[in-house]
Amino acid sequence: MAISEQLARTIIDPHAYSRREIVDEAFRTIRAESPLDKAEMEEFEPFWVVSRHADIKEIERQPAVFHNGDKSTFITNRDGNERVKALTGGEPNLIRSLVSVDGDEHKALRSVVFPHVTPRAIKPLEEAIRGIAREFVDHMLGFGGECDFAQDVAFLYPLRVIMTVLGVPQEDEPFMLKLTQELFNNADPELNRRRAELSPEEQLKSLWETTMELENYFAAVTKRYRENPTGAINSLIANARIGDDYLNHRQLMGYYIIAATAGHDTTSNTTAGAMWALAERPQLLRQMQDNPEAINAFVEESIRWEVPVKHFMRSAVSDCEIGGQQIRAGDWLMLSYQSGNRDESVWADPFEFRMDREQNPQIAFGYGVHVCLGQHLARMEMRILWEELFKRLKSVEMSGAGERTISNFVCGPKHVPIRFAVN
Ligand code: HEM
């Protein structure tokens, strides 16, 4: 039996994600009644909804059977898919980045940056990141007792960290923030390019304009770093070669864009969501002040809790069986990280924010060959921010209602109003 149309529409509705309990409830039903089943809606190509933790892993474990790049990597309707192909000359994704390529191309591209983002490779960045964290803690405390933590800290700190690692000058940060928000929050009138409700056609048009603006910016970056190479990640990308050749235009642009956008929005969403969770559970602050080691568990639980990347799509290359269902070659599948991170068979109380979990195999970074390239950096920068902030914070609570972005892809809290006192 297919997933009911009402449930299918809920789990792709950008507005539903802005009131997360609606989506959580829909997935709770899906996991209980039809954990791996088809969603069918007239304007969409049918797709399987993969809601269980184990099935998501099983699929990600087989990259030769489930491809990223054959169809759109995020949910788009039939019209949207056709328009993207028209714009790109036949490719199913506007941006050709690591998440939209497979096989040898993916391996070659990933190996350009991978050695530079392992836990050992990023360790030397710790002091510089701590300096940035202190700066933003000072900035926050400067508000004198109340701020919007999402806007005033969480959107800005990961942006500064990633831009420093990439080699983007500070004065370009507002531009990067604006374009990232346009890219990921197209359905949200507060954050999208036109600052208005957009039809799907207008959304795609503005996505394309944003992509072109980013490409113009990065064309100059390539020129600069080929003339003067440095150790910055953007310089590695500019000078990388597959065989004898530099990366082609779409590979280069895709790389810069994914690193510059996925590199902060995800972490910002998690940081904002973590503060929201803390401000509603003020006793956790004292626990972490008494035992700073607990900050690691706080970070891990906040990643599980927030799940900033809601889904990625895959398509089957050959027939196979997953979770008792027969998948056919060409089928499209939605891996719901939101649902996988609430799976009752993995966590006894998935709807509780808990720091005392013995194990937390959260799947918000994905799994397998595409697993998040920035996972260690993201964890490290969040841990450092909390270490620096909790040393100085006496108390924190919500001072108003938090608000989430209207989006079904990469998103999280956009307003987290808090009241705080310092030691
Ligand atoms: C809490 C923060 C973050 C979360 C939750 C997150 C989540 C994800 C997810 C779900 C994927 C897809 C994994 C899969 O298909 O199995 C991914 C891929 C990726 N992420 Fe992250 N991410 C975060 C932070 C970052 C940061 C800081 C960077 C930049 C350094 C980054 C760069 C990337 C890249 C380049 C990929 C593509 C990897 C590939 O396809 O091989 N992410 N991330």
Position 398 scores a pLDDT of 98
pLDDT score of 188 more than 90: no
Ligand 1 atom closest to the Cα of residue 161 is 27
Enumerate the H helices of 280-374 as residue ranges.
283-290, 294-306, 337-340
Q: Say yes or no to pLDDT of 177 above 80.
A: yes
Q: Residue 187 has what pLDDT? A: 81
Report CA(415)–ligand 1 centroid distance (Å).
23
Whose Cα sits closest to atom 42 in ligand 1?
374
**Could you tell me if residue 223 is inside a domain?**
yes
| pLDDT at site 191 | 82
Q: Is 414 exposed, middle or buried (0-12, 13-18, 19+ CB in 10 A)?
A: buried
Ligand 1, from 365, 381, 385, 386: best to mutate by most atoms within 8 Å of Cβ?
365
Q: What is the mean pLDDT of the chain?
A: 95
Is residue 135 within 8 A of residue 387, CB to CB? The reply is no
207-238 pLDDT, tens per residue?
Answer: 889 999 999 999 999 999 999 999 999 999 99
Taking CA atoms, 380 is separated from 182, 344, 388, in Å, by: 26, 28, 12
Contact predicate 288/390, CB 8 Å: yes
Mutate to test the pocket of ligand 1, among 113, 334, 373, 409 (most ligand atoms within 8 A of CB): 373
- Whole-number Å distance, alpha carbon 142 to ligand 1 midpoint, is 32
Q: Which of 178-187, 355-364, 391-400 has the lowest mean pLDDT?
A: 178-187
State what percent of residues in the chain have pLDDT above 90. Answer: 90
CA of 375 to the centre of ligand 1 (A): 7
Q: Are strands 403-404 and 413-415 parallel, antiparallel or unpaired?
A: antiparallel
Task: Identify residue 269 by its one-letter amino acid code.
Answer: N
Burial class (CB in 10 A: 0-12, 13-18, 19+), 394: exposed
Q: What is the pLDDT of residue 197?
A: 87
DSSP H helices, 147-248, are 149, 157-166, 173-184, 200-227, 233-239
The model's confidence at residue 318, banded by pLDDT at 50, 70 and 90, is: very high
- Nearest residue (CA) to ligand 1, atom 34: 373
Cα separation, 154 vs 255, in Å, equals: 24
- Within 6 Å (CB) of ligand 1, which residues are found? 60, 98-99, 110, 162, 258-259, 262-263, 266-267, 270, 303, 308-309, 312, 337, 364-368, 370-374, 377-378
Average pLDDT value for residue range 304-321: 98
CATH number, domain containing residue 274: 1.10.630.10
Answer yes or no: is 156 within a domain.
yes
**Does the pLDDT value for residue 199 go beyond 90?**
no
**pLDDT at 192 (0 to 100):** 84
Please report the pLDDT score of residue 97 as a whole number: 95
DSSP summary character for residue 37: E
pLDDT of residue 64: 98
Which atom of ligand 1 lies nearest, measured to the CA of 113? 35
CA distances to 276, 281, 371 from 385, rounded to whole Å, are 15, 18, 24
Instruction: List, in order, residues 6 or more apart from 298 with CB less than 8 Å away.
Output: 274, 278, 284, 288, 355, 386
Does residue 344 fall inside a structural domain? Answer: yes
Residue 262 alpha carbon to ligand 1 centre in Å: 6
Q: CA 420 to CA 397: how far, in whole Å?
A: 6
Q: How far, in Å, from the CA of 26 to the mean position of ligand 1?
A: 25
Residue ranges making up the domain that contains 241: 5-30+45-88+97-422
Under the phi-then-psi rule, with left for phi > 0, alpha for psi from -120 to 50, and beta for the rest, what region is 320? beta
DSSP for 356-420, written as a single string: --S-----TT--GGGS-TTHHHHHHHHHHHHHHHHTTEEEEEE-S--EE-S-SSB--EEE-EEEE
Whether residue 1 has pLDDT greater than 80: no
Ligand 1 atom having least distance to the Cα of 367: 16
Mean pLDDT, rounded, for 166-170: 93
Residue at 35 is within a domain: no
Atom 22 of ligand 1, nearest CA residue: 372
Instruction: Encode pLDDT of 19-30 as tens digits.
Output: 999 999 999 999
**Residue 345 maps to a domain:** yes
Going from the Cα of 267 to the center of ligand 1, the distance in angstroms, rounded, reads: 10
Ligand 1 mutation pick, 59, 166, 372, max ligand atoms within 8 A of CB = 372
Query: Would you give the DSSP letter of residue 170?
Result: G
pLDDT at 323 over 80: yes
- Over residues 84-119, the pLDDT tens digits come to 999 999 999 999 999 999 999 999 999 999 999 999
Ligand 1 atom closest to 99 (CA)? 40
Pair 276, 374: CB distance under 8 Å: no
| Maximum Cα interatomic distance, the chain, rounded to a whole number of Å | 61
Q: Does residue 38 sit within a domain?
A: no
What is the 259 CA–ligand 1 centroid distance (Å)? 9
Could you tell me if residue 341 is inside a domain?
yes
Q: What is the pLDDT of residue 240?
A: 97
Return the best residue to mutate from 234, 255, 266 for the ligand 1 pocket (most ligand atoms within 8 A of CB): 266
- With beta carbons less than 8 A apart as the criterion, state whether 126 and 382 touch: no
- Compute CA distances 276 → 108, 120, 368, whole Å: 39, 31, 30
From CA 375, how far away is CA 230, in angstroms rounded?
23
pLDDT at 195 exceeding the cut of 90: no
Total domains in the fold of the chain: 1
Residue 37 lies in a domain: no
Kindly give the distance from the C-alpha atom of residue 275 to the centroid of ligand 1, in angstroms, as a whole number. Answer: 21
